[in-house]
Amino acid sequence: MYGKRPDMTVHQVEPYNAEPPRSALVGRAITPVDAFYSRNHGAVPVGELATWSLRVEGLVGNPGSWSLADLRERFAEHTETATLQCAGNRREGLVAVRDIPGEAPWGPTATATATWTGVRLADVLAAAGVSAGATHVEFLGADHCPEADPPQEFGGSVPLRKATMPEVLLAWAMNGEPLPPVHGAPLRVVVPGYIGARSVKWVDRVRVLDGPSANFFQASTYRLLPADVTPTGTPGEGVELGLVAVNSDVLQPDDGATVPAGPTTVRGYAFAGGDRTVARVDVSTDGGTTWTQAELEEQASTWSWRHWSATVEVPTGEVEVVARAWDSSAALQPERPEHVWNPKGYVNNSWARVHLTGA
Amino acid sequence: MYGKRPDMTVHQVEPYNAEPPRSALVGRAITPVDAFYSRNHGAVPVGELATWSLRVEGLVGNPGSWSLADLRERFAEHTETATLQCAGNRREGLVAVRDIPGEAPWGPTATATATWTGVRLADVLAAAGVSAGATHVEFLGADHCPEADPPQEFGGSVPLRKATMPEVLLAWAMNGEPLPPVHGAPLRVVVPGYIGARSVKWVDRVRVLDGPSANFFQASTYRLLPADVTPTGTPGEGVELGLVAVNSDVLQPDDGATVPAGPTTVRGYAFAGGDRTVARVDVSTDGGTTWTQAELEEQASTWSWRHWSATVEVPTGEVEVVARAWDSSAALQPERPEHVWNPKGYVNNSWARVHLTGA
């Protein structure tokens, strides 16, 4: 379905929401498109795209509409390697603490990395002429999201400071191939270092604003609420998500695997958004009393995840392998999912844990 | 001494290292200069400043020297409110876990906020013409640090991307008054969002480089080592510190205070560096089982701390008040100092804890 591997875990068929098995991500700096998770709130638009163009409007001196050919002709092409991570990544670890009704129990593979090719949003904004007083840039898609209240297109915004950074792209290609429909063709936003939700697919409007977007997916969801609050969907409640906190998980062996007792190489990924990179990963088999430092592969770019591996001794019987990452701000993942549990189940960045049996 | 309050905790007389009592910081968005912590690795330079000028050199097209009058005349003046936090802030909480010989047991008040006035480093670099291949900007002071190996001036660097951001200043004034000698007169760097060590005082050289600074305080110290490693001072070991992770502490009541049993207002600060701001603070009196959300005061700027307060019920007898902050990337402070303990005692951002007695 949608060109994905047959072994995807499909959380929802329509709109399509799916993530690959852990093994599909092991050791690959760039995720093949057929293994790249897909998170959608509306069906892939089709008819809406027949007359597609990108409208740039709001607090700009020169509003206008751009075809894909216009964008290619007018602006320099750039490619950036960037990891996208869904804010719901690793929600299953929170669901294990307390149920989260109505939200899919995403595992650790709603995180993936591609090369993205397109034009810099900064260049398009410069051509449009951003007016004084602008603070945010809003992206709106061509899709329809019935779950929104009221139903509306998917959208969101980022601060103008981020929007004008060279890494933020309007992209038409992924891993060197034309963007597939399920990933946002003909054009999507790629905001490296931010939750995947801000990289709006099928983008047909870029609006320069004097505040954050009022779109449902910015103002009412993708917000972190305290554990003791019941979400009401009231715009503005809780903390708006955007930048990605340091996170990691184990990709191999799989959780629940039986492995030969003795030295076992554990492999995984770590990711830190914003202006941070992955600085260190530790692995423990005694619940965090002692730690082995993992070997880190290079980050393909400032905006990408970092794969890691560590060889640990797996005893005969059951063992919990724990991993934790540090970012370049010396931030460490928090220990327990209980501490980060929140009513919508976002941003589980507690220590990674897989349970192995040594035989 | 050095114009500071008489009740400073002086960790070292020469070079001068001191922080104020918690009460001096309560509820003040801007820290008075006489209560602003001072961290020095060398004595305040005097004779060295007689012929002071700022030399801009390295990978630039137009190297040159600037007097203070030159800088004032050539570039626009800017003021920024920014918090500085020493990487050793709250080290006492790590020392309580395991001794850290040779490092001062700083409390939670090696964090303070001022308005800084000067010129943008970006403007000075633009005038100097940064060459292709440049990646970092190094700052070197006029002081002498005998503890360095070999003895040298205090220095450090930040990535070029940060150095050219509008918030990074070469500052000659603090809270609207001329910069005092102990805070870096005639000129200091202010790098908002980075550990205080990068805001080099008595700066007399700005060097554009193709890598990080080789200065002792960048290459050999201010680095995060794993808990089981003994520091050797070898350049490059461990993780280079720079960006500041989310942190917080209680300022009132003081740790160890006796207060009337009943409702008590707890006040403190929270701070997050880099591109993050403080998003939420929680307070608990039952060890973290239940939490009260604190009221947050406005951040004076993106680059400043955020004061908070919460009213909790103090029972008769002893109680531990715990506080924890979340930043705008949804990063939460880690729970236990054991988890962040490191051989040099940097970046204790574990949950804040003060012990009160209700009477």
Question: Which residues are CB-contacts of A336 (< 8 A; sequence separation ≥ 6)?
Answer: A350, A351, B335
Q: Do the chains contact at B240 and A291, CB–CB below 8 Å?
A: no
Residue of A241, A282, A339 lying closest to B330 (CB–CB) = A241
Buried b (16+ CB within 10 A) or exposed e, B326-341: bbbbbbbbbbebebbb
Length of chain A: 359
Give residue A232's pLDDT band: very low, low, confident or very high (50, 70, 90). confident
Domain co-membership, A206 together with A333:
no
Give yes or no for B330 touching A (CB within 8 A). yes
Mean pLDDT by 10 residues, chain B (359 residues): 96 97 97 98 93 97 98 98 98 98 97 98 98 98 96 98 98 98 98 98 98 98 94 90 98 98 98 97 96 96 98 97 98 98 98 98
Chain B residues with CB under 8 Å of A283 CB are: none
Structural domain includes residue A3: no
Query: How many other C-beta atoms can be found within 10 angstroms of the C-beta atom of residue B258?
Result: 12
Residue of A227, A326, A346 lying closest to B239 (CB–CB) = A326
Predicted pLDDT at A35: 98
Predicted pLDDT at B47: 87
- What pLDDT digit, counting tens, does each position of A272-290 carry? 999 999 999 999 999 999 9
* Residue where a domain terminates, one of B205, B240, B275: B240
Predicted pLDDT at A233: 81
Domain co-membership, B205 together with B282:
no
Taking 90 as the threshold, does the pLDDT of residue A315 lie above it? yes
3-state secondary structure of A250: strand
Q: Give the C-alpha separation, A230 to A59, whole Å.
A: 36
Q: Give the C-alpha separation, B240 to B318, whole Å.
A: 40
A349 alpha-carbon distance from chain centroid: 13
Domain co-membership, A96 together with A136:
yes
Residue B54 belongs to what domain range? 9-240
* Residue where a domain terminates, one of B213, B240, B267: B240
Average pLDDT of chain A is: 97
* Residue where a domain terminates, one of B187, B214, B240: B240
A137 neighbors A185 (Cβ within 8 angstroms): no
Q: Do the chains contact at A290 and B228, CB–CB below 8 Å?
A: yes
Domain co-membership, A100 together with A161:
yes
Taking 90 as the threshold, does the pLDDT of residue A174 lie above it? yes
Domain co-membership, B75 together with B220:
yes
Chain B residues with CB under 8 Å of A240 CB are: 328
Domain co-membership, A277 together with A221:
no
ipTM above 0.95, yes or no: yes
Interface of A with B in 186-225 (CB under 8 A): 224
Q: What DSSP state is assigned to residue B275?
A: T
Structural domain includes residue A120: yes
- What's the Cα-to-Cα distance from A261 to each of A149, A291, A314, A323, rounded to whole Å? 53, 19, 5, 19
Number of domains, chain A: 2
- What pLDDT digit, counting tens, does each position of A319-342 carry? 999 999 999 999 999 999 999 999
Domain co-membership, A266 together with A319:
yes
Residue of B227, B290, B346 lying closest to A330 (CB–CB) = B346
Predicted TM-score (pTM) of the model is: 0.97
Q: Do the chains contact at A333 and B334, CB–CB below 8 Å?
A: yes
Domain co-membership, B185 together with B42:
yes
Chain A residues with CB under 8 Å of B293 CB are: 226
Give yes or no for A330 touching B (CB within 8 A). yes
Predicted pLDDT at A170: 98
Taking 90 as the threshold, does the pLDDT of residue A266 lie above it? yes
- What pLDDT digit, counting tens, does each position of B262-282 carry? 999 999 999 999 999 999 999
Q: What DSSP state is assigned to residue A2?
A: T
Domain co-membership, A268 together with A209:
no
> Which CATH number covers residue B335?
2.60.40.650
Structural domain includes residue A1: no
Query: What percent of chain A clears pLDDT 70, i.e. is strictly above it?
Result: 100
Could you tell me where the beta strands, DSSP code E, fall in B95-186?
Answer: 111-120, 136-141, 155-159, 169-174, 177-178
What is the pLDDT averaged over residues A139-158?
97
- CA quadruple B59, B61, B67, B68: dihedral, nearest 10: -80
Q: Give the C-alpha separation, A227 to A181, whole Å.
A: 37
DSSP string of B285-312, one letter each residue: SSTTSS-EEPEEPPPSSTTS-EEEEEEE
Q: Do the chains contact at B226 and A275, CB–CB below 8 Å?
A: no
Structural domain includes residue B3: no
Chain A residues with CB under 8 Å of B334 CB are: 332-335
Q: Give rounded-to-5 percent helix, strand, coil for chain B.
A: 15, 35, 50
